[in-house]
């Protein structure tokens, strides 16, 4: 929406070139050329309003722009207006239950959004100035997800970043949806869901799942759909974090869910290629790390407002290759890295989080307590030993193991089954009622298995249960 101030500051130009989503706009003089990331609008032949974002300045008073919606029916010499401001979106409580696009326009066919102000989706670099005036030195607050393996080995704190890494069809979206369910139902939290490069079908299914489980009232949603130009798919994460920041400013804690952050990187690579930039050795954009950091550095706790932004990011791993440069660039910013395993899927172990490939910087006795830390370390040690023994068992059989090794082998399998869990959002597929398990119940259950107190129980009884009976 063009404000009065923007209208006064607007400068006119005209289109000289259209190459897919890249549009070159020429202005009469250098003073009229809009700044980087500012908006330019024009009207297509069919009457649509097309929004452009300035990406580069060329010689001859030319602004090279990336289109945020379709460039279909744009002609050369079409008049264009520089609005003198970056893309901004409406913020406020009117966004709850609503779905918007990258530009803040409603796409849920529920009418206009009621809002009090608009905020730009781009913001200046935070800088390096540190204020100690209101510095909170207390321990960060733990968020109980209710998912056993996450609460035990990969604890989540307010303001931290958690990545769910995995290839296609490994359950990233299901795990994300279960976390949303628990946060809204158990903690009465507020969530912002950002669909970056989502299929329309997936967005539709997500919406009706949220309605079904009665958690839509605590949700704000923004989608940059797969059929949209790369500018919209890239900018959607900036829109999402802007919505989360608006809630944070109200001294509230908010959870930001991004599905899928890899599509954000992909869109950035498309834009980079369209702008003619030389790709890096691996084929990704040369600005990969800068773009990923621009987003992640905005996910933080605020000393001024008191609120926090906590993120859960689904990360698609191409060909299950964790060394892919885009994946490496993303998980370098994560506090928790949950790696989903195709092998565990084949074994029917849900959620398919690999406890040995995954990692957490939050697994610290100073944060989670000595008891929790020691149990978690012992569980990881048993799983590591199990991997060694499993190779031996495949060759000679379990009967050839020593009594001590056999006990570890069997307890590891019990732990493996115990850390599976029926999900609320997957009840239609599993036929089992979902369960929320507290951190204390998880730790107690693992202690009983590790100590051998339930060696008499068959491992099948521990599969897909909640609390250990």
Strands 99-100 and 219-225: parallel
Q: Which residues, listed in sequence order, are joined to residue 220 by a DSSP beta bridge?
A: 192
List of residues 6+ apart from 402 with CB closer than 8 A: none
Between CA 418 and CA 431 the distance in angstroms is: 18
Stretch (H or E) spanning 179? helix 172-187
Taking a C-beta distance cutoff of 8 angstroms, is the pair 126, 293 a contact?
Answer: no
How far are the Cα atoms of 27, 45, 380 from residue 60, in angstroms, in the given order? Answer: 8, 26, 62
> Of the candidates 25, 20, 117, 30, which has an alpha carbon nearest to the alpha carbon of residue 63?
25
> Of the candidates 468, 444, 438, which has an alpha carbon nearest to the alpha carbon of residue 155?
438
Catalytically active residues are 172, 198-199
Say how many Å lie between the first and final Cα of the chain, rounded.
Answer: 58
Between CA 424 and CA 426 the distance in angstroms is: 5
Q: DSSP for 202-222?
A: HHHHHHHHHHHTT-GGGEEEE
How far are the Cα atoms of 83, 236, 252, 253, 454 from residue 300, in angstroms, in the given order? Answer: 31, 19, 13, 11, 42
Between CA 64 and CA 58 the distance in angstroms is: 7
CB atoms within 10 A of CB 28: 12
């Amino acid at each position: 929406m063009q404000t009065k101030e923007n209208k006064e500051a607007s400068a006119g130009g005209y289109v000289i070139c259209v190459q897919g989503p890249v549009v070159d706009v020429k202005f009469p003089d250098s003073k009229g050329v809009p700044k980087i990331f500012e908006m330019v609008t024009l009207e297509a032949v069919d009457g649509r309003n097309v929004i452009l974002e300035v990406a580069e300045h060329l010689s001859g008073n030319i602004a090279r722009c990336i289109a945020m919606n379709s460039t279909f029916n744009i002609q050369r010499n079409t008049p264009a207006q520089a609005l003198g401001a970056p893309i901004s979106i409406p913020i406020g409580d009117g966004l709850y239950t609503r779905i918007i696009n990258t530009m803040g326009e409603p796409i849920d066919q529920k009418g206009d959004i009621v809002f009090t102000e608009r905020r730009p989706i781009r913001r200046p670099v935070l800088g390096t100035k540190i204020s100690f005036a209101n510095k909170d030195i207390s321990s960060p607050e733990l968020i109980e997800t209710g998912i056993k393996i996450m609460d035990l080995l990969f604890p989540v704190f307010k303001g931290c970043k958690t990545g769910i890494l995995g290839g296609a069809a490994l359950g990233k979206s299901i795990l994300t949806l279960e976390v949303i369910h628990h946060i809204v139902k158990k903690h009465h939290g507020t969530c912002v869901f950002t669909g970056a490069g989502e299929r329309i079908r997936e967005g539709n299914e997500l919406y009706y799942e949220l309605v079904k489980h009665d958690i839509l009232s605590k949700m704000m949603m923004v989608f940059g759909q797969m059929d949209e130009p790369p500018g919209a798919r890239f900018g959607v994460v900036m829109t999402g974090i802007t919505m989360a920041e608006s809630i944070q400013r109200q001294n509230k804690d908010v959870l930001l869910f991004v599905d899928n952050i890899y599509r954000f990187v992909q869109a950035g690579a498309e834009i980079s290629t369209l702008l003619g930039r030389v790709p890096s050795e691996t084929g990704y954009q040369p600005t990969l790390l800068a773009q990923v950091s621009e987003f992640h550095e905005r996910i933080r706790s605020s000393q001024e407002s008191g609120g926090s932004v906590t993120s859960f990011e689904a990360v698609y791993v191409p060909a299950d290759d964790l060394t892919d440069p885009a994946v490496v660039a993303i998980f370098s910013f994560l506090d928790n890295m949950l790696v989903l395993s195709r092998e565990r899927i084949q074994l029917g172990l849900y959620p398919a989080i690999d406890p040995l490939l995954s990692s957490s910087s939050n697994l610290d006795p100073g944060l989670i307590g000595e008891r929790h830390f020691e149990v978690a370390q012992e569980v990881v040690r048993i799983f590591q030993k199990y991997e060694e023994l499993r190779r031996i068992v495949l060759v000679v059989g379990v009967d050839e193991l020593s009594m001590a090794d056999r006990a570890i082998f069997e307890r590891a399998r019990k732990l493996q089954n115990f850390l599976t869990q029926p999900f609320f959002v997957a009840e239609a597929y599993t036929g089992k009622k979902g369960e929320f398990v507290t951190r204390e119940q998880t730790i107690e259950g693992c202690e009983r298995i590790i100590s051998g107190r339930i060696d008499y129980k068959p491992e099948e009884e521990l599969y897909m249960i909640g609390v250990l009976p």
